[in-house]
Structure 1
Amino acid sequence: MDIWQKLYEAAKKQYRPTEVNEFIYAHHVVSALEAENGDIYTGFCIEGLCGTMNLCAERTAALNMYLNSDQTKIKRLIAFRDEAPVGITGMPCGVCREFLMQLSSENENTEIMVDYDNRESVTLKELLPKWWGHMRE
């Protein structure tokens, strides 16, 4: 089993779309990441009607990593709904891209799965080629 399959299987366990209550919906997008030390952390999307509560699966996985290990560097990341990423799906939204870069500028090298069957990935740097934070370094 390669690392991408391990990440996929870990994230898949989190997939169980749930109406927490009339205001909050969760577990409909899932993610798993491989931290710098090789540990795997998972996360799921949670959305509330107030809007400010919303957290994407990628950010909850990264927060889970940081909260449980103080790590900030991510080697690989996968995110999806009910099926593994196909074509160019699975890319993090703009807020997640920004958060991952702010967590550690070395995350520009994070591999993000975009086509699971073909094992095609892109780096965060490819998605944010001229990140503003590098000007501050």
Structure 2
Amino acid sequence: MASWEELYNRAKDLYDPHEVSPFVYSNHVVAAIESEEGRVYTGVCFEATAGVLHLCAERMALVNMYMDSRQTKIKKIIAFRDKVPYGGGSGMPCGACREFMMQLNMENRETLIMQDYASKKTVKLGDLIPEWWGEERLNMDLDL
């Protein structure tokens, strides 16, 4: 099982804000996740001028996990910019990343998200997305 320190260090190693082109900025947000099998996957933010081309570090780590192992379940995740998550909203995945984690596997509601690295305070994804809309869809009788 990966420690929070290991996840932090794996992500921190990727922190290297830079312009890829006049339109793309990268590595200014980094993330590391631990999969259900205990493997660590990382990702970096790849931000394009056109918002629809933007790829968050968390989603990149999830895609890397899926492409490598076909896993969809996440134990824990840490994401940050220039310093560790320090409470409040720091380190919290954006709405698109939260939604992607839930759609990838509903059991990800139990995923621990690092909220404050110093105190090791975490929050479960399910607490950030109460009454997720997808549950109703999954429970619908699709016989029309």
If the length of structure 1 is used for normalisation, what is the TM-score?
0.97
Measured against aligned partners, the alpha-carbon deviations of 1:31-84 in whole angstroms (never above 9, x if no partner) come to 000000000000010111122110111100101100111000000000000111
Percent identity, aligned pairs only, is 54
Q: Which moved more, 1:118-127 or 1:46-55?
A: 46-55
The structure 1 segments of at least 4 consecutive aligned residues displaced by more than 6 Å after TM superposition are none
Q: Which runs of structure 2 are paired with 1:2-21 in the superposition (5 Å)?
A: 3-21=3-21
RMSD of aligned residue pairs (Cα, Å): 0.9
Mapped partners of 1:18, 1:68: distance in 2: 26
Is 1:44 the equivalent of 2:61?
Answer: no
Deviation, 1:18, is 1.1
Aligned to 2:141: none
Mapped partners of 1:28, 1:56: distance in 2: 10
**For this pair of structures, how many residues does the alignment match?**
136
Deviation, 1:136, is 2.3
Q: Which runs of structure 2 are paired with 1:92-131 in the superposition (5 Å)?
A: 92-131=93-132
Mapped partners of 2:87, 2:47: distance in 1: 26
Q: Identify unmatched segments of 5+ residues in structure 2.
A: 139-144
Deviation, 1:135, is 1.1
Aligned to 1:32: 32
Mapped partners of 2:98, 2:120: distance in 1: 20
Measured against aligned partners, the alpha-carbon deviations of 1:87-116 in whole angstroms (never above 9, x if no partner) come to 121010101000000000000000000100
Q: Identify unmatched segments of 5+ residues in structure 1.
A: none
Counterpart amino acid of residue 45 in structure 1: C
If the length of structure 2 is used for normalisation, what is the TM-score?
0.92
Counterpart amino acid of residue 107 in structure 2: E
Mapped partners of 2:58, 2:67: distance in 1: 14
